[in-house]
Chain A
């Protein structure tokens, strides 16, 4: 008996050897393109980078903008923002973080040719930032060329680097020489395979508004690249990874059925809609557009195809977005009304149309085609590559080549500037309907520079009401982002901006 307990004790001791570091693995759909925060234009890259680099500000899981490396900020006038920095923050190499690093990082992002002759591809994300002034070691002023009320909403997308580090390693080496202020430091980037990080014990603790504050909980974090959906789910089920992103709706049941894994969902920021060709063809007639909206039972499609994981929207803005008009009338499912409107437009015998879609959304398009049949629409679904559809529909005012396109537009900032303007302003780059309304353009332009938040929200609400009546697109839903998560993971919440911040995540046995 005694002997047995001794053996058991010995075994327990062996299990607790220090080599068994808490290691959190994320099965991630894409590899980083670079680890230089200024040299990419890619959401997945940012998700990985954000665990090693912090920004002036960040977002909590409710999408509120909160101070991170900054202690706080004030708008001195509509074109000047002052940021007070946190004291005692260090980079991974131990050197102090100061206002000069903020200026250097932001200049590197916004000034022409500032990256060793290249201009940062992220420049346009801070388009109105004209200059950064260092007031003292812990104070900077951001000067804007024009009033730009969305500065705080756009700053979470930018991370700060060490000026001395960039000077030491050179611009090119920044692709994989990481020296940030974030909760994890880089161990190794195995390109195409994994990004391995370990806890930075000197971490200042992160945003004070997001508990808990302090160094990260887990000792090591690995982003393991698994592009194929089925393989990513398999890795989760096999216990090889603890969190997977982009869980497809049709695999939810598999993850839920496993006792060691669960599904976590968060409202996404991507609005799905059917872009209709307003320039010519049947959808140039508003009655036909309205008929289609009445012919589609959106809730049924959400329930059957998306497993209920989406919220309907009656306009381009997500229900969570700033300035969302909450009183937009819905085009309720009503096949008789659809048929009546079609008959009025001269299609008493129904209308045959083609719905273009990319491969990933084929199932949804087919479901829409099936439910719209009752309303008098005979919809042929044609699957094409998405890059091709972009060229055909997003024509910037030129003739559109197609009738309808099931597509979507993401809006990580949840500010209308990023989604409403490009998709609805006359001839803007995401306007895939050929839609043009001078009143909407004027409202969007005014809201773009309005610094009074309440007034700005009113302008967007007004614009959305006009668009709701014009109905250039059939607005469908904002799908939830789904994650498969091991039950061992605690303290982690998925976030609407699709970032996976692992600072607060812990692993239990």
Chain B
């Protein structure tokens, strides 16, 4: 991989971030709703007290001044104070980020583990019962709304069977000294099998809920590309050579068939961030998505700004990652 390309990509981030900043700022400006009014809620306050709060939150300045103030502070890494937490938004976001990353990774792993074998099988046994069932299931998987499917899982596995917990990330006694801040990994690194087990039980349902639409899409992509590959001449040739079927599938077909899957997976990982907002709310998962939704409802401008910028950076980097993976899987392609 070429370092020049990486630098080029990073430079491309600058106009993206600037554009996103402007768009978010303008959208918040034109969306009705006054953070000061929302914060005061059902309180009896005088006009002066309200103005004082407005001044405190920096909302008494005209919009263009607010924007340039935001921009110049942001350059130094200062995204302001969250109106509600009254702490730097970077700290608030950082405290919620590991949970979101852990859940997204778990969902991604679930999606890959389910979709690739099923996609391959469906392609190999085209038009079989298995293929049809997986087609219908994946249709459900894509179209079922997360908040509904999540509740369904909760009612079945947590309320009826009591196998898994309803919500949260870990029980009280599963406290582990953080290393990576990802509980599943930290508990293993610290040799705490009980804590690992507990964290695993907590993450299963949200990860399935979050990963299911992605698994469905990836399964279809794997199936389609596998079918394409299986029709190629070199596969016919390999068969003619008398190679074992499993060897043909894994060594010759799968590697090429996976290229589109990996690309789509990398791009879809971005959409996991969006799905997080729903899943984190349903499962009381202490992540960033829920924080952002709550912030939007109460017009917590500084936090929304910073979080959206973070999402934008993540998307760009995931796209870049997809490109790199593409070159790894297919040496003919260069960045």
Contacts and interface: CB of A to CB of B under 8 A. Distances in A.
B269 interface: no
B158 interface: yes
A391 B34 contact: yes
B85 to A, nearest CB: 5
Contacts of B158: 234-235, 238, 240
Contacts of A23: 172
B228 interface: no
Contacts of A235: 158, 166-167
Interface in A229-244: 230-231, 234-235, 237-240
Interface string A200-215: 0000000000000000
Contacts of A256: none
Query: What band does the interface of chain B fall in when counting residues whose beta carbon is under 8 Å from A?
Result: 35 or more
A469 B87 CA distance: 48
A249 interface: no
A422 B42 contact: yes
B286 A391 contact: no
A387 B297 contact: yes
Interface residues of A, number: 59
Interface stretch (A35-43, A334-342, A435-443): A35-43
A224 interface: yes
Contacts of A237: 159
Contacts of B99: 192-193
A493 interface: no
Interface in B92-147: 95-96, 99, 147
B284 A230 contact: no
Contacts of B159: 234, 237-238
Nearest to B37: A390
B44 A418 contact: yes
A303 interface: no
Interface stretch (A84-92, A115-123, A304-312): A115-123
Contact of B39 (A41, A225, A411, A428): A41
Interface in A24-48: 27, 31, 33-34, 39-42
Given A238-B162, A385-B33, A391-B32, A124 B286 contact: no
B33 A391 contact: yes
A224 B284 contact: yes
Interface in A177-193: 188, 190-193
A34 B85 contact: yes
A77 interface: no
Contacts of A121: 39, 53, 56, 86
Contact of B169 (A193, A220, A392): A193
Contacts of B37: 390-391, 394, 429
Contacts of B39: 41, 121
Interface string B29-42: 00111100111111
B246 interface: no
Nearest to A39: B86
Contacts of B44: 417-419, 421-422, 428
Contacts of A325: none
B33 to A, nearest CB: 3
B181 to A, nearest CB: 12
A142 interface: no
B206 to A, nearest CB: 11
B84 interface: yes
B165 A240 contact: yes
B49 interface: yes
A239 B162 CA distance: 9
Interface in A65-95: none
Interface pairs A-B: 4 shortest CB-CB: A192-B286, A387-B33, A193-B286, A235-B166
Given A42-B84, A188-B175, A226-B166, 12 more contacts: A39-B86, A40-B84, A121-B56, A121-B86, A190-B286, A227-B294, A231-B283, A234-B166, A240-B165, A388-B32, A390-B37, A429-B45
22 contacts: A31-B286, A40-B84, A41-B43, A121-B86, A127-B45, A190-B170, A191-B95, A192-B285, A193-B170, A224-B168, A226-B284, A227-B290, A231-B150, A231-B282, A234-B154, A238-B165, A239-B162, A270-B42, A387-B34, A387-B297, A392-B32, A422-B43
Interface of A: 23, 27, 31, 33-34, 39-42, 118-119, 121, 123-125, 127, 172, 175, 188, 190-194, 196, 220, 222, 224-228, 230-231, 234-235, 237-240, 270, 385, 387-388, 390-392, 394, 409-411, 417-419, 421-422, 428-430
